[in-house]
Amino acid sequence: MSQLSLFLSFSLCSFIFFIQSISATTPLIYGGCSQTRYTPGTPYELNVNSLFTSIVNSASASNFNNFSISPSGYAQSNNVVYGLFQCEGDLSNSDCKACVASSVSQLRAICPQAIGGIIQLEGCFVKYDNTSFFGVEDVTVVSKRCGPSIGYNSDSLNRRDAALAYLTASNGQYFRGGGSGSVQGVAQCVQDLSVSECQDCLTEASGRLRSECETSSWGDMFLGKCYIRYVDRDHHSRTNAAGDEDVDKTLALTIGVITGVILLIVFLSSLGKMCDKKGGK
């Protein structure tokens, strides 16, 4: 069954953001475009195209890189483009490149001629702009999502808190995965941050996630330069099973109605033929 995608747009600094629910065919978490546009055919457009090519090529060998693009012969102050990409730490090189290539393709579609853009897919992140953002901390909430509430369950909440504590423990890593029992999660910072800045970002994200999602069976918190996510597999699987059961009931009811209508049509048709025969006599 296809999932309808809900878009929400709002202004944040100089960007317009679009948040989309995830479906099997469009794994877009959020994307944003600068409101300022460049003129087609200008040196800046050439730089953006060069940046996108460099990002995709680099993703085949690394899960993170940043670039400053400004072809010789043009004033850097007007035409330089800054950009970076990052893939989730457990992606293979081939999957990373595929994800980044998809990100660039979608950025071209949602941000035509924008001087800056940002996109987060399931598995990778790409951003570019005409001013440098490398090494700049950003704890702005960009996307937050919470699953259905499981009520106050002390065991589940304790496991959730333990999982978030594990993900935010100071270990010097930009990508972390793990949890506590049935509650598992992942967390990651953009690698242009220092280790201490990454730690600060994840601590902020964890606190907001705990506050926003409270008793949810799963939750995601994406800040400007980091994210943290968790899922309680026990409750999440039961939620999915209940949802599948509802779908099955709906499908069975629909089939029953259609079958009834067909039988009614057949009966009325037969009745009509019998009346015609009697009338002919």
Residue 201 is predicted with a pLDDT of 98
pTM: 0.76
Q: Round to whole Å and give the CA distance between 275 and 280.
A: 9
Residue 152 is predicted with a pLDDT of 87
The pLDDT tens digits of the residues spanning 238-255 come to 344 334 333 333 333 333
Residue 15 is predicted with a pLDDT of 52
DSSP string, 144-207: EEE--B----HHHHHHHHHHHHHHHS--S-SEEEEEETTEEEEEEE-TTS-HHHHHHHHHHHHH
- Collapse the DSSP code of 135 into the 3-class scheme (helix H, G, I; strand E, B; otherwise coil) and give the result: coil
Q: Round to whole Å and give the CA distance between 2 and 24.
A: 8
**What's the sign of the alpha-carbon dihedral 145, 114, 91, 199?**
negative
Nearest Cα neighbor of 162 from 136, 143, 177, 183 is 183
**Which domains are assigned to the chain?**
26-129 (3.30.430.20), 141-237 (3.30.430.20)
Residue 246 is predicted with a pLDDT of 39
Residue 153 is predicted with a pLDDT of 83
What are the mean pLDDT values of the chain's consecutive 10-residue runs (281 residues total)?
30 48 59 95 94 97 96 68 96 96 95 96 97 96 94 90 95 94 96 97 97 95 98 69 38 36 45 56 53
